[in-house]
């Protein structure tokens, strides 16, 4: 970061306030792009004035008032020439002092919720939803988003411009969906947040220090959402899942940058504060919804690991049962593969192997290296080294991750030496 | 990055005087703001130091000396803390400035401290890079 102390302070305030400002302004001007421009204008004015005048007592209110004045100036200048400004003029009566107070005090939550429903709207592509949410709700710059996703800044900038255009041409309203629609739309929002989180969490390559930013932003957004939609059990479920997974962020990679498997991680270094927060969120979800939804179930699985003092004390029968429940509410071959692992840990490798052998015909797992990798692992446990070696080699040929490939080839070689032991 | 906002004790807090309704409301509103911004991790208020003890080690390697509270010097006593997770030091300062005055009638004091996170790759890329460079240097020295 560069610039003077005041500039950095202004930058921090802008990041804190921008989502609220944008949400409040969209309610008035009904246009995402225009609202964002107005906020940008207000920030530029703040950057000009605050270094001399000092930072006002309530910077959020100052910025909102300034943005509002810009909106009115804008209308006067263009003299209601085109339709866009006529529309704004119609909403002029919304520009009252009470309105601003409301925006600043009471209804922020609802406006933020409307905004997130907008940035995660189904008319947008998945990529666009993520980029627009990071930009408007998390206040990240296009450069930060680009670095997080390892793509060019121009790509992200274009994606955001196009997304805003789509919201406009499709006339996506700034409103709260209700009834059945609310449930569907909320699940889209959760999907976007979890996608964001996973992008940061499962980063195996690239700029290793900026990507955790995505985890933090997703978690922050999840916590906000849980506060403004306290009755949605899956929101708490997702927050629980992210809190618990975040508790292991620092133990997932060793000092050389090599990934460390869950069972091998130093549990003393897991962040107990985040685990406690995760368990509390899971508790809230349990109290609200029965049966548990997919995020809450995954959080419950994650909680089993978090609560085991050592890897050998893991409650595998419970994890196997939770995967069973998960495979009913959200069936997928990957969940099935995880269930196989849990079952083999709980009841022995031969039971897990049965499930995996049923998955071998699954087309979606055709190129999934973890299938042969897990199968190899179970075969080793059963002492079937020759077969295990073939599986590890197959898995090694499928993975795109160099470190993983080396690890798998090592295991294959290990199996080979054990097979030859038998003959000597 | 995490910051702890430490609220120092005042004569009132040490005497166990309940905060005014006005202060309680202000603190509640502030905490709500922290939650709605997704930055609050934990917050607690502590009992007066009269129920506390101090353990000190006056002799290096010697036995601990245990002293019962209350302790004098309110400003050296902690009355409560709020732990937040933010993006920058400036953001932490901004939140600390928005925290209500602890109504100490001139004694109110809030201390802002960053929580140290050793090896935290997300917060300090520079020192990590420096460490890596240093390690390379050592390796090369070994080889030479």
pLDDT by residue (tens digit) across A292-305?
999 999 999 999 99
Asked if A15 and B93 come within 8 Å (Cβ–Cβ), the reply is no
Buried b (16+ CB within 10 A) or exposed e, A3-17: eeeeebbbbbbbbbb
Are the beta carbons of A258 and A403 closer than 8 angstroms? yes
* Residue of higher predicted confidence among A65 and B132: A65
Tokens of residue A208, six digits: 């290793």
Minimum-distance CB partner of A250 among B37, B83, B120 = B120
Q: How far apart are CA B81 and CA B76, in angstroms?
A: 14
Name the nearest CA neighbour of A114 among A125, A126, A103, A105: A103
Neighbouring C-beta atoms of residue A125, cutoff 10 Å: 13
Residue A118 half-sphere exposure toward CB, CA atoms < 13 A: 31
**What DSSP designation does A309 have?**
S
Q: What is the mean pLDDT of residues A195-224?
A: 78
C-beta separation of A243 from A280 below 8 A: no
pLDDT given for residue B118 in this prediction: 58
A210, pLDDT greater than 80 = no
Tell me which fold the domain B2-143 belongs to: Alpha-Beta Plaits (3.30.70)
B96-99 long-range Cβ contacts below 8 angstroms, 24+ apart: B96/B3, B96/B5, B98/B30, B98/B33, B99/B5, B99/B7, B99/B30
Confidence of residue A103 (pLDDT cuts 50, 70, 90): very low
DSSP string spanning A229-288? STT-HHHHHHHHHHHHHHTTGGGSB-TTS-B--GGGS-GGGS-HHHHHHHHHHHHHHHHH
Average pLDDT over chain A, rounded to an integer: 86
Over residues A11-22, mean pLDDT: 91
Judged on CB neighbours under 10 Å (0-12, 13-18, 19+), B60 is exposed
Q: Tell me the two tokens of residue A321.
A: 């049962």
What is the rounded CA–CA span in Å between residue A288 and residue A295? Answer: 14
* Of residues B85, B93, B121, nearest to A212 (C-beta): B121
Q: pLDDT by residue (tens digit) across A63-94? A: 999 998 888 887 677 655 555 555 555 555 44
Banded pLDDT at A105 (limits 50, 70, 90): very low
Give B59→chain A minimum CA distance, Å: 31
What does CATH list as the number for A108-213? Answer: 1.10.10.10
Rg (CA), chain A: 26
Residue A108 — very low, low, confident or very high, per pLDDT cuts 50/70/90?
A: low
Q: Is the minimum CB–CB distance between B138 and chain A shorter than 8 Å?
A: no
Work out the minimum CA distance from B85 to partner chain A, whole angstroms: 9
A92-101, A294-303, B44-53: least confidently modelled range = A92-101
Per-residue pLDDT of A360-378, as tens digits, reads 888 888 888 889 999 999 9
The pLDDT score that the predictor gives to residue A83 is: 56
| Chain B residue numbers touching A12 (CB-CB < 8 A) | 87-88, 90-91, 93-94
pLDDT in tens, B58-101: 999 899 999 998 998 777 899 999 999 999 999 999 999 999 99
Across A28-46, average pLDDT: 90
User: Which structure tokens are listed for A255?
Assistant: 């000092």
Predicted-complex ipTM score: 0.79
A378 contacts A344 by C-beta, under 8 angstroms: yes
Considering only the beta carbons, identify the residue of A12, A108, A250 that sits closest to B91: A12
The DSSP line for A202-220 is: T--SS-TTTTHHHHHHHHH
Other C-beta atoms closer than 10 Å to the C-beta of A158 total 13
């Amino acid at each position: 970061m560069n610039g003077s102390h005041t500039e950095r302070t202004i930058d921090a305030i802008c990041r804190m306030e921008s989502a609220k400002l944008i949400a409040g302004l969209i309610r008035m001007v009904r246009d995402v792009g225009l609202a964002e421009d107005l906020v940008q204008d207000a920030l530029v004015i703040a950057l000009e004035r605050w270094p001399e005048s000092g930072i006002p007592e309530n910077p959020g209110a100052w910025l909102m008032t300034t943005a509002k004045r810009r909106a009115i100036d804008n209308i006067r200048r263009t003299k209601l020439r085109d339709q866009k400004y006529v529309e704004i003029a119609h909403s002029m009566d919304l520009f009252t002092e009470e309105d601003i107070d409301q925006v600043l005090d009471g209804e922020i939550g609802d406006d933020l919720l409307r905004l997130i429903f907008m940035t995660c709207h189904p008319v947008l592509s998945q990529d666009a939803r993520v980029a627009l949410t990071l930009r408007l709700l998390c206040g990240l710059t296009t450069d930060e988003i680009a670095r997080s996703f390892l793509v060019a800044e121009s790509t992200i900038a274009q994606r955001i411009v196009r997304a805003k255009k789509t919201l406009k041409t499709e006339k996506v309203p700034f409103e709260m969906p209700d009834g059945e629609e609310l449930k569907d739309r909320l699940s889209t929002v959760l999907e976007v947040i979890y996608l964001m989180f996973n992008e940061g969490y499962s980063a195996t390559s690239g700029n290793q220090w900026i990507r955790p930013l995505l985890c933090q932003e997703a978690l922050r957004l999840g916590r906000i959402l849980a506060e403004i939609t306290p009755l949605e059990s899956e929101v708490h479920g997702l927050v629980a899942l992210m809190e618990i997974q975040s508790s292991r962020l620092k133990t997932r990679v060793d000092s050389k940058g090599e990934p460390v498997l869950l069972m091998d991680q130093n549990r003393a270094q897991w962040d107990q504060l985040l685990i406690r927060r995760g368990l509390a969120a899971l508790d809230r979800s349990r109290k609200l919804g029965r049966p548990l939804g997919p995020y809450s179930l995954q959080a419950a699985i994650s909680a089993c690991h978090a609560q085991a003092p050592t890897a050998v004390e893991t409650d595998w029968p419970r994890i196997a049962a939770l995967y069973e429940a998960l495979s009913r509410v959200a069936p997928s071959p990957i969940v099935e593969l995880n269930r196989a692992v849990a079952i083999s840990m709980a009841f022995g490798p031969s039971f897990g192997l049965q499930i995996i052998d049923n998955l071998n015909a699954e087309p979606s797992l055709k190129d999934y290296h973890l299938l042969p990798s897990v199968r190899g692992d179970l075969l080793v446990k059963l002492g079937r080294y020759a077969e295990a070696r073939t599986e590890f080699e197959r898995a090694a040929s499928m993975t795109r991750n160099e470190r993983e490939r080396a690890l798998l080839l090592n295991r294959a070689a290990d199996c080979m030496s054990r097979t030859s032991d038998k003959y000597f | 990055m995490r910051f702890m906002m430490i609220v120092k004790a005042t004569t009132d807090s040490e005497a166990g005087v309940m905060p005014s309704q006005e202060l309680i409301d202000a603190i509640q509103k502030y905490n709500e703001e922290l939650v709605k911004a997704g930055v609050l991790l934990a917050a607690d208020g502590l009992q007066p130091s009269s129920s506390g003890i101090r353990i000190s080690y006056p002799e290096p390697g010697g036995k601990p000396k245990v002293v019962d509270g209350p302790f004098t010097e309110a400003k050296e006593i902690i009355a409560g803390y709020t732990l937040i997770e933010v993006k920058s030091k400036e953001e932490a300062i901004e939140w600390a400035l928005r925290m209500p005055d602890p109504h100490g009638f001139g004694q109110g004091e809030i201390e802002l401290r960053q929580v140290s996170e050793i090896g935290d790759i997300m917060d300090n890329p520079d020192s990590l890079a420096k460490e890596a460079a240093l390690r390379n240097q050592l390796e090369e020295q070994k080889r030479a």
